């Protein structure tokens, strides 16, 4: 399955600015289905991990308050062209997704 994560990594000097968009419903568990009136079960990303060349540079713990199809941007020092950036997430149902890009 193709990854639902899009990554943009822009290198300026030795600082890389990472912008990423993840495809995910991010259901809060409090919303009701407008047709059936039943509560839609919670389904949201709990942990996002960013790794550069296999070293974890940032871990984000999320609750259901993060918007649908989450956007996340962060910056990392000490990166160089050719480094591999990997973004992965795990949601509350144990589903995962990941994507890799080469910093340039």
**Of 72, 85, 87, 103, the one binding other proteins by CB under 8 A:** 72
Does residue number 74 form part of the binding site for other proteins (CB under 8 A)? yes
**Of 8, 68, 80, 82, the one binding other proteins by CB under 8 A:** 68
Q: β-pairing, 71-77 with 15-22? A: antiparallel
Q: Is the Cβ of residue 23 or residue 31 nearer to other proteins in the bound state?
A: 31
- Residue 77 phi, psi (nearest 5): -85, 160
Per DSSP, what are the bridge partners of residue 48?
60, 89
Residues 10-29 that bind other proteins (CB under 8 A): 15, 26, 28
Q: Which of 84, 85, 87 is nearest to 98 (CA)?
A: 87
Residues 33-62 that bind other proteins (CB under 8 A): 46-47, 52, 55-62
Q: Is the dihedral of CA 87, 104, 78, 53 positive or negative?
A: positive
Binding site for other proteins (CB under 8 A): 15, 26, 28, 30-32, 46-47, 52, 55-68, 70-79, 90, 92-94
């Amino acid at each position: 399955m193709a990854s639902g994560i899009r990554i943009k990594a822009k290198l300026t000097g030795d600082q890389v600015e990472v912008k990423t968009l993840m495809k995910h419903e991010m259901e809060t568990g409090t919303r009701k289905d407008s047709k059936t009136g039943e509560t839609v079960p919670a389904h949201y990303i709990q942990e996002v991990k960013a790794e550069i060349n296999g070293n974890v540079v940032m871990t984000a713990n999320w609750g259901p308050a993060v918007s649908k199809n989450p956007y996340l941007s962060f910056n990392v020092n000490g990166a160089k062209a050719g480094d591999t950036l990997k973004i992965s997430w795990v949601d509350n149902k144990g589903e995962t997704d990941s994507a890799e890009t080469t910093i340039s």
